[in-house]
Amino acid sequence: MSAEKPDLRERTRQAVRAQLMAVAWDLFVEQGYDATTVDEIAAAVGMSQRSFFRYFGSKEDVVLVKFEAVGVMLADELARRPVSEDVWTALRRSFDGIVETSERDPRYGLLVLRITDRAPVLRARRLEQQTHWQELLAPLVATRLDPPATDADHDPRPAALAAAALACLNVANAAWLDSDGTESLRRLLDDAMRAVHPGAF
């Protein structure tokens, strides 16, 4: 039983965090990020501001926690791609989850981009998170290269390809934001990645 209690506590903690995030993002969409206070987020789920800070260090962390999960999702998607698929196509396909989520409900995707673009601290933290995404993707890219890359080779190709793909994603997101979501993020990302690798996918 003693081993189960910490696990139950952690599941409860994650459930509360998820609830706070859902409520916070609804408020961000409804009234704007800057206008939404920690007090309002906490009150919406029936807790005090002090309790909120047991789950998140700041309002900014409610935004940034989304980026933590994205890197793991991208790595999982890339690992599931067919081994016969070339690395650039596999990287593009690993972004499909982001594209589908953003296009299904553009309000949230656009809001994330606006918030992180306007706040220098959040923009810096987003770039820091993307460096972590690159570190997660590069080992998976390495196994798809011909010849495969190894740590002993100090091969720059895996990191270069992962960084290039993420740069294309950033450029596509920026163009999508500039269009206020009226352009297709899928097409923008395809165009960006084909510009780097003409004829791909």
pLDDT in tens, 123-159: 888 888 899 999 999 999 999 998 777 765 688 999 9
Length of the chain: 201
Instruction: Give the residue carrying structure tokens 């306007």.
Output: 118
Averaged pLDDT, 75-96:
96
pLDDT band per the 50, 70, 90 thresholds, residue 65: confident
Q: Is 104 found in the same domain as 53?
A: no
Residue 173 and residue 183 in one domain: yes
Helix (H, G, I), strand (E, B) or coil at 48: coil
Q: For residue 16, what are the contacts with CB-CB under 8 A and spacing of at least 6?
A: 45, 55
Q: What is the pLDDT of residue 136?
A: 95
Q: Can you tell me the distance from the alpha carbon of 145 to that of 155, in angstroms, rounded to the nearest whole number?
A: 11
Are 65 and 45 contained in the same domain?
no
Pairwise CA distance, residues 49 & 39, whole Å: 5
Same domain, 48 and 116: no
Domain count, the chain: 2
Give the model's pLDDT for residue 5: 65
Same domain, 46 and 101: no
Is residue 74 within 8 A of residue 95, CB to CB? The reply is yes
Domain span at 45: 1-57
Q: How far is CA 7 from CA 4, 13, 52, 57, 160, in A?
A: 5, 10, 21, 22, 39
Rounded distance, CA 158 to CA 138, Å? 5
Cβ within 8 Å of residue 117, ≥6 positions away: 123, 177
